[in-house]
Structure 1
Amino acid sequence: MPLLRSVGYTARIAEDGDAALEILKDAHPLAIIVGGAANLNLYCTLRRAARIPILALVPESDRDRALSAFAVGVDDYQSSPIGSREIVTRVGALLRSIHRKSPSIQTSL
């Protein structure tokens, strides 16, 4: 995730679901990127633990998993492999989306 850092994001990497939950408790991230062979239970657990955007990186051959991920609360998905610049762009879009939905921002407009 060096490219995320190079554009000003702080990135922490979790090796598994338990580590991701620990990061949620300690760091209060603005978004979560889940890669690899994450299962639907992990997406559900992350969604229950935090109301922040989740971007799932799903193997290109597994479209069913991507659709199921949306059903359990993932906000966006991208087929992997994915380029670093596209990850940065998608994270930026997810963060803009939560700022638009923020009550404090909407009431100040």
Structure 2
Amino acid sequence: MTPREARVLVVEDDDDTRDAITLALQSDGYRVHGEREAVGANRAAMALHPDLVVIDVRLGDGPDGFGLARALRTTTDTPLLFLSAAGSLENRLAGFSVGGDDYLTKPFAMEELLSRVRALLRRAGRRSATVWEIDDLVVDEAGHRVSRGGVEIDLTPTEFALLLAFCRRPGRVLSKGQLLNEVWGADWYSPNVVEVRISDLRRKLEALGPRLIQTVRGVGYVLRP
């Protein structure tokens, strides 16, 4: 698989939280750089030119997340996503007033973080991947086109969204609940909906080659060459 990756800078002083966010973002197809404090993060932003910065508001040493945002806003319009345990209206407005683009309150579900990252990159005209190549399958995310062996495949919007969910997480098994959240935006639909749509997608892909979407019994589905 060959994605063109977006770069995300994660600024979080708690090592476990930073590592968890980094792993989730990497699994979603991003290149990730982590920093513990504002001064190092500002230097990293100037060197790396990230497509998005995730900032914890309360940083242990030196300036806090709002101070870092003010510094970044003097040199870049990169989207900024704040993370904070303080979710009051006053705190959220403070984040937006210093140049933040979104504000996520701790604790949060990692899928929600990933969804907000995707939305911010989409609004900014930046994407985690434009073209994915899996064996002879080519998925053009921006152009909304899919082909296999040079033959174009006509997918419904739901089938295309399902395929993208797999492309963004190469080799990762996705549960029915994860697919329901990402593609349908809710997990209260019947899991049978996923089974039916996966079957439809497989039928179209397998008309032109061997199976790519594998079933992992009792866990979910994975896209493997």
The TM-score normalised by the length of structure 1 is 0.82
Of Structure 1 and Structure 2, the greater helix share is in 1
- In 1, Cα distance between equivalents of 2:65 and 2:79: 17
Deviates more, 1:77-86 or 1:61-70: 61-70
Q: Does 1:84 align with 2:105?
A: no
Q: Does 1:93 align with 2:114?
A: no
Could you say if the C-alpha distance between residues 92 and 31 of structure 1 is closer, same or farther in structure 2, counting changes exceeding 3 Å? same
Q: Does 1:26 align with 2:47?
A: yes
Q: 2:167 — aligned with what?
A: none
Structure possessing the higher radius of gyration over alpha carbons: 2
What SS class does the counterpart of residue 57 from structure 1 fall into?
Answer: strand
> In the alignment, residue 18 of structure 1 is paired with which amino acid?
V
> 1:5-49: CA deviations, max 9, x gaps?
011101111111111111112111100000141343222112223
- In 2, Cα distance between equivalents of 1:32 and 1:69: 13
Q: Which residue of the other structure, out of 56, 73, 77, is the alignment partner of 1:51?
A: 77
What SS class does the counterpart of residue 51 from structure 1 fall into?
Answer: coil
Structure 1 unaligned residues grouped into runs of 5+: 101-109
Could you say if the C-alpha distance between residues 60 and 41 of structure 1 is closer, same or farther in structure 2, counting changes exceeding 3 Å? closer
- In 2, Cα distance between equivalents of 1:18 and 1:4: 23
> In the alignment, residue 5 of structure 1 is paired with which amino acid?
Q
Of Structure 1 and Structure 2, the greater strand share is in 2
Percent identity (aligned): 29
Q: 2:28 — aligned with what?
A: 7
What SS class does the counterpart of residue 12 from structure 1 fall into?
Answer: strand
For the 8 Å contact 1:58–1:66, the answer to whether it is kept is no
- In 2, Cα distance between equivalents of 1:64 and 1:39: 15
- In 2, Cα distance between equivalents of 1:53 and 1:97: 9
Could you say if the C-alpha distance between residues 27 and 99 of structure 1 is closer, same or farther in structure 2, counting changes exceeding 3 Å? same
For the 8 Å contact 2:56–2:65, the answer to whether it is kept is no
Structure 2 unaligned residues grouped into runs of 5+: 1-21, 59-63, 127-225
What SS class does the counterpart of residue 47 from structure 2 fall into?
Answer: helix
> In the alignment, residue 70 of structure 2 is paired with which amino acid?
C
- In 1, Cα distance between equivalents of 2:87 and 2:102: 17
Q: How many residues align?
A: 100
What SS class does the counterpart of residue 99 from structure 1 fall into?
Answer: coil
Larger relative contact order (CA 8 Å, sep ≥ 6): 1
Q: Does 1:72 align with 2:93?
A: no
